[in-house]
Amino acid sequence: MTNLSQLSKDYQRIEQAIRFLETNARRQPDLAEVADHVGLSEYYFQRLFTRWAGLSPKRFLQFLTKENAKALLARTSVLTAAYEAGLSGPGRLHDLLVKCEAVTPGEYRTKGAGVDIVYGFHPTPFGECLLALTGRGICFLAFVDGERQVALEQLKLDWANAALQEDPSRTHPVVEQIFTPRLEPSPAYQEPREISLHLRGTNFQIKVWEALLRLPRGAVTSYEALAGQVGSVNFARAVGNAVAHNPVAYIIPCHRVLKKIGKFGNYRYGSVRKQAILGWEMAQGEG
């Protein structure tokens, strides 16, 4: 079993644990109770959780508190700093260098006519995903909860006139590049792995997605702050709509947008998965 396959299998239990803790947060259940809920011994649950997250359940869950979320939101000035530093092009995600290329207005209108897309289903640390590529980069990434056809229909809707072909041998290396964790301590500098995105969206949506790409690892923002960064301070709702229509989950980190009051808020792929991704990202930052 590959590392990502194991992490994907682990995630099913981790999701159960986070959902249980979310439901019983006021009681603050201990390790023994959570382990019992997911059907494991304390010892094995601790090992499984550490294998998945890279740290203990207790430390991981500290990331998921409302207080921690509020503290992170207080640091949204880092997004402003990124803009002022002239980071209007590539954005970093973990050890990736992400380049964003939008379709032309003509390509947007034709919904992918003349575009060849390959796609595949693959395990990730957050469950199975569907990833799709054009000749210019990643055009779609969605998490799949046992409903492959639903995700595939969304891809077909987004690129209605493109020619689609399933070819996991071509998408697998890209998934490995995106999701393979580096849990061991890293050198002071590592050459980032470069990936390209090929995005189909309105000008406003592209602007919001590019702003999200500039969020540093471990940072979060609010809808209001994000609206301010794209020059539409009074249009937080429109920003929220653009965030909700992000076609490339995880890479464009819409999971990093929280409510101003410190609540994690909704997520297209479930609030539990949003918490899991945020906690996992912060855990990688501790390496």
So which residues are the catalytic ones? 254
Element (H, E) at 150: helix 148-158
Question: 213 near 93, Cβ under 8 Å?
Answer: yes
Question: Which residues lie across from 107 on neighbouring strands?
Answer: none
Kindly state the tokens that stand for 4: 């990502």
In sequence order, which residues have a C-beta less than 8 Å from that of residue 248 and are 6 or more positions away?
Answer: 138, 139, 140, 141, 197, 199, 209
* CA 278/CA 136 separation, integer angstroms: 28
User: What is the crossing angle of helices 168-179 and 3-23, to 10°?
Assistant: 60
The string of DSSP letters for 113-170 reads TT-EEEEEEE--BTBEEEEEEETTEEEEEEEESS-HHHHHHHHHHHTTTSEEEE-HHH
